[in-house]
């Protein structure tokens, strides 16, 4: 299973070269909020293979859409992050943990959809006076 996450940056942000550690922390924190038992098993134990080995079946990409600089990587507007796992519960845990951010984005969209036309109406009426 694969999850595509779009990160929005309202202002350009300089990320350090070691930012993947932040992504790993974000992934485990979100999974712990979404499905705590899955997150704990993945982080503490992993999944066992019949041969006796233990694996942590979670892979994630670098952020796509960053501009390199000698100081780090610039994130401008949006960046794409891919997270994959052959175990659906792992991706589901991450998605559920990120879900609380969606209502805030929807509220911002609704406000923008209402406020922009209202602002233009005010500007047009001020010009007439």
Confidence of residue 128 (pLDDT cuts 50, 70, 90): low
Do 12 and 68 belong together in one domain? yes
* Same domain flag for 55 and 77: yes
Q: Do 36 and 86 fall into the same domain?
A: yes
Q: How many domains does the chain have?
A: 2
Write the pLDDT tens digit of every residue in 2-17: 989 888 888 888 988 8
Which residue range is the domain that position 48 belongs to?
2-98
Q: Are 38 and 67 contained in the same domain? A: yes
DSSP secondary structure letters along the chain: -EEEEEEEEEEEEEE-TTTHHHHHHHHHHHHHHH-HHHHHIIIII-EE-TTS-EE---EEPPPEEEEEETTEEEEEEEEEEEEE-SSHHHHHHHHHHHTTHHHHHHHHHHHHHHHHHHHHHHHHHHHH-
pLDDT single digits (tens) 37-91:
988 888 888 777 788 888 788 888 999 999 998 888 999 989 999 999 988 888 8
CA pair distance 82, 4, nearest whole angstrom: 5
């Amino acid at each position: 299973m694969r999850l595509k996450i779009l990160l929005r940056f309202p202002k350009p942000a300089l990320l350090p070269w070691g930012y993947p550690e932040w992504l790993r922390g974000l992934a485990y924190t979100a999974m712990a909020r979404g499905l705590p038992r899955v997150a704990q098993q993945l982080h503490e134990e992993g999944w066992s293979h019949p041969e006796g080995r233990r694996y942590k079946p979670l892979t994630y990409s670098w952020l796509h859409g960053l501009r390199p600089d000698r100081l780090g990587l610039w994130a401008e507007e949006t960046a794409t992050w891919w997270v994959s796992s052959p175990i659906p519960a792992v991706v589901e845990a991450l998605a559920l943990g990120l879900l609380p951010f969606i209502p805030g984005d929807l509220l911002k969209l609704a406000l923008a959809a209402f406020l922009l036309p209202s602002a233009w109406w005010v500007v047009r009426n001020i010009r007439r006076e």
